[in-house]
Amino acid sequence: MNGDWLLRGRDGRLTVYLPSDDAVLCRAELVPGGPWETPRRVGGDQRLHPGPAVGQGADGYAHLVAWRPTGSDGSVLVHSTHFRPRLAPLDWTPVGHPGKKGDRTGTPAVAVDDRGRAHVFVRDKGGGVSLLAQKEKGGWNPWQDLGGEGVQDRLAAVTGESGLVELYAAVPGGIAHWRQEEPGKQPVRTGDTGAFARPGTLYALATSAERTTLYFTDGRGELCAWRPGADPVPLLPAAGPGPVSAVRCDVEGHDCTVLAQRSASGRVAFAAYPSEREELGAAWTESGPALPPDATVSLTLGADGRLVAATLSPSSGRLLLSRRKDEAGLALGAWEAV
């Protein structure tokens, strides 16, 4: 799943979105902090390609996008909205193809602006980035060509606290950044950094009222933080090969960013530091059992504002959850199977 797959809805219940063969499944808490319902299939019985994406708006609505096969050599992007955890998501609706027709061109990424409009980014067949954005009162605007050459797969889309949508992408020789200058406007490329990013390691987070931060692993294996307009800052050695998950939360009265990543040992590694203060450093602390190589981790805040971490292994289908203890520091409780 490209994007955060552990989300908190408007009613405080948590939802997870689980890729499963040719579908996406969702599960939600029956009550905040309580037991979970059984998995449900998103969007009906339509068959999907692997690699769905999810994004969430300030209204709590989740927007899911995936490729659906249309024939022996064709695919189309489809979209579903999930308004509340206990409600059924809407059926998948075709939204088009950046080249009008053809096979898949890249893994989609989704961000939702402060007016609830989903923005779907995808690498196009020319190696650049194309954008499909919802209209405020329903429907979709035409595809927009954002440019770019040699864009790598696994784009990182994010919405800043300003409500403006941003995109990060690995390109030959560095990382590119696009940002909306005004609500509803086409994002423009603001400038690149020459830092090399290992494929599939990009993750973006709004870290202050003015800025978003991109986390990525560089060629030396360092987990770096980059905010456009400055140089990337090495934070600490990456715990493992995949992307991190990150969330901001209050730790002892301080605005901190918490990072999580499946480590080389197979366990989940956590690190925390004051938001945008990378110069203070951070250190990993491992938690939980060893996980399969395909396991991913996602972070969010529960209805009580406390950190919640989840891990999912597509090969085993095992979902584990851990919550921050009600005590000083950032101690997590035991990992429990959901």
pTM: 0.96
pLDDT band of 98, cuts 50, 70, 90: very high
268-311 pLDDT, tens digit each: 999 999 999 999 999 999 999 999 999 999 999 999 999 999 99
pLDDT band of 62, cuts 50, 70, 90: very high
CA distance 115 to 326: 34
Q: Is the pLDDT of residue 329 over 90?
A: no
- Residue 278: φ, ψ to 5°: -60, -25
Residue 28 φ/ψ region, left for φ over 0, alpha for ψ in the -120 to 50 degree band, beta for the rest: beta
Region 94-102: what's the mean pLDDT? 96
Q: Which residue is it, tokens 């406390």?
A: 306
Q: What is the DSSP string of 304-319?
A: TS-EEEEEEETTTTEE
Region 11-22: what's the mean pLDDT? 93
Higher pLDDT, residue 211 or 72: 211
133-184 pLDDT, tens digit each: 999 888 999 999 999 999 999 999 999 999 999 999 999 999 999 999 999 8
User: What is the chain's mean pLDDT, rounded?
Assistant: 95
Instruction: Report the pLDDT value the prediction gives residue 327, as an integer from 0 to 100.
Output: 83
List all residues 6 or more positions away from 54 whose beta carbon is below 8 Å from its beta carbon: 1, 2, 3, 4, 5, 7, 17, 62, 63, 64, 65, 110
192-224 pLDDT, tens digit each: 999 999 999 999 999 999 999 999 999 999 999
Q: Where are the beta strands (DSSP E) in 116-244?
A: 118-123, 129-133, 144-147, 156-159, 165-171, 174-179, 188-193, 203-206, 212-217, 222-226, 233-237
Domain spans of the chain, in order of start: 1-104, 242-338
Torsion angle, CA of 194/197/202/206, rounded to 10 degrees?
A: -30
Instruction: Report the pLDDT value the prediction gives residue 72, as an integer from 0 to 100.
Output: 81
Region 5-13: what's the mean pLDDT? 96
Share of the chain above pLDDT 70, in %: 100
104-113 pLDDT, tens digit each: 999 999 999 9
Q: Which residue is it, tokens 């060629």?
A: 219
Instruction: Report the pLDDT value the prediction gives residue 136, as an integer from 0 to 100.
Output: 86
CA distance 214 to 167: 10
CA distance 144 to 128: 11
pLDDT band of 314, cuts 50, 70, 90: confident
